[in-house]
Amino acid sequence: MPSGAEAAAVLPPIIAADELAIGYGETVILERLSFTVPHGEVFAILGGSGSGKSTLLRNLIGLDPPLGGRLEVDGAPPRQSDGPPRFGVLFQSGALFGSMTLAQNVALPLRKWTGLDADAIDVVVRSKLRLVGLEGFENHLPSEISGGMKKRAGIARALALDPPLLFLDEPSAGLDPVSSVELDELISTLSRSLGMTTVIVTHELASIFAIAQSCIMVDRGARGIIARGAPGALRDGSDDPRVRAFFNRKSV
């Protein structure tokens, strides 16, 4: 398996945004967004609350249509067509289906998109849950487990079809520091060992430095990207007061 850097040299970027404009209805929140995400990288989209980063994520995963510009995810516009999903998504709350057990949640995309029989699906489901450290919780309902476990289960479901790309919406939001670090480690390990590209929307500084190789920072006031690069370089080298404030935890 090629490492991230080698793969990036060979393959075109897995996400390419060109002059993208996003928002809802007539309201443009961010515009002229141009960035690429190479294969195999952990890429972070940063920004304060209300900066439009979640709206950008909704565009990237095809839930909202862009207001302008071009966006390609894995070689095609992200809007879901009839085929199987081309990427996995972990929503902020996990978004597990409340009436189904964890096993049934993970099995859902497998039942829909693979021809596997029930036994084979069961094996895959167990292995995915083991991957995120939830072995033994197959028959729990989402309401019976903690917030951190819900997110792990959400990751297991997102990984059910072995996607080359995983999106995570504020994975550490609402978690205690220990669960948050454990989740970061899980994400890091998964993306490294599965050779998977990971896009994280977050404002959690610790997570960013721990797992992201590069990032962009968006700002609603500036209506676009105000910084890009490796997180460490931005913290130490940026001249932009908003970027410095963000990385040094100061109010502007």
Partner 1 sequence: MTDRVSEAVGPGYRVERVDGSDGVAALRFAGELRFRQCFQSWKGVRELTQPAASRMRLDLSRVDHLDGAATALLLELKNELASAGAQTDIVGADGPVRAMLELYGAHAKRPSQKPPPVKIGILDQIGRETLELVRESNALDFVGDVAVAGVRALRRPSLVNWADIPRLMERAGADGVPIVLMIGFLVGLVTAFQAAIQLQQFGASIFVADLVGLSMTRELGPLMTAIIVAGRSGAAFSAELGTMRVSEEIDALRTLGLDPYHFLVFPRVIALALVLPLLTVFADVVGIAGGLLVATVKLDLTYNAYLAQTQQAVNLWDVFSGVAKTAVFAVNIALIACQRGLATRGGAEGVGRATTSAVVTSLFAIVLVDAIFTVLFNAFGR
Sites of contact with partner 1 (CB under 8 A) = 58, 61-63, 80, 83-85, 87-89, 91-93, 95-98, 108-109, 112-113, 157
C-beta closer to partner 1: residue 40 or 88: 88
Residue 188 near residue 210 (C-beta atoms within 8 A): yes
Measure the CA–CA gap between 101 and 39, rounded to whole angstroms.
33
CB of residue 234 to partner 1, shortest distance in Å: 29
CB of residue 179 to partner 1, shortest distance in Å: 20
CB of residue 99 to partner 1, shortest distance in Å: 9
Measure the CA–CA gap between 88 and 103, rounded to whole angstroms.
17
Which of 223-244 are b and which e, b meaning 16 or more Cβ less than 10 Å from the residue's Cβ?
A: bbbbbeeebeebbeebeeebbb
C-beta closer to partner 1: residue 167 or 247: 167
Residue 46 near residue 218 (C-beta atoms within 8 A): yes
Residue matched to tokens 């099995």: 107
CB of residue 84 to partner 1, shortest distance in Å: 5
C-beta closer to partner 1: residue 92 or 179: 92
Measure the CA–CA gap between 60 and 230, rounded to whole angstroms.
21
CB of residue 95 to partner 1, shortest distance in Å: 4
CB of residue 2 to partner 1, shortest distance in Å: 27
C-beta closer to partner 1: residue 170 or 204: 170
C-beta closer to partner 1: residue 92 or 214: 92
The residues with which 166 forms a beta bridge, in sequence order, are: 88, 198
C-beta closer to partner 1: residue 21 or 108: 108
